[in-house]
Copies of this chain bind each other. A is one copy, B any other.
């Protein structure tokens, strides 16, 4: 009963998603080493028992090492495991989802990642295609009842930009008024600066985005807000 079972390999993979003009994209890199050299894969790596204090730490360290990025949104997705996903044997991969504004990715050398539309994913190493599918499903689903899409935008954004983000995530359009009422923004509060979404998370700043039109108030979100009901 106290037989020592062979320990499986344990790694952390990160599904890094961003929003480009044509919709959600996933960041993939080309593997150099065995197994699957030359294949596209998610960024990931082994846990470093001596330096990682948590799984999230390991995920952040992996991204930091490979790209220098520190994503503002990082969430555990699910754990993928089994005897067949890695030719070296029984393995465990704890998968994370990271959301990064497209603008931040300009700082990453273009040789590190290739970006692919999440609705048109090529063949990937290991079970990484499954991980991407699960991540996209999670993001779409969670966006329907939360302020999650805020993390695909820069720190400050207009309501119209946020609306376009939701529309890109879901591939569906709504009217401005409908969008705002879905967020739970009470009419009249945008101008007074008391605008607040249903979850009390969207914060009106005193800055405006100027341009060839009426200036638009800029908002920010500090934490994830959950709506009472799904709405998309």
Contact = CB atoms under 8 A, between A and B. Distances in A.
Contact of A49 (B52, B78, B89): B89
A8 B49 contact: yes
A83 interface: yes
Contacts of A82: 53-55
A5 B48 contact: yes
Contacts of A114: none
A8 B5 contact: no
Contact of A83 (B53, B76, B92): B53
Interface in A23-56: 46-50, 52-55
Contact of A81 (B5, B81, B90, B94): B94
A198 to B, nearest CB: 13
**Oligomeric state, in number of copies?**
2
Interface in A47-75: 47-50, 52-55
A82 B231 CA distance: 36
Contacts of A145: 230
A79 interface: yes
A49 B145 CA distance: 39
B230 A46 contact: no
B49 A5 contact: yes
A133 to B, nearest CB: 16
A7 interface: yes
Contact of A7 (B7, B50, B81, B229): B7
A130 interface: no
Interface in A2-25: 5-10
Given A82-B53, A82-B54, A94-B81, A5 B76 contact: no
B81 A55 contact: yes
Contacts of A48: 5
Given A5-B48, A52-B83, 10 more contacts: A5-B50, A6-B49, A7-B7, A8-B10, A10-B92, A49-B83, A53-B82, A55-B82, A76-B78, A145-B230
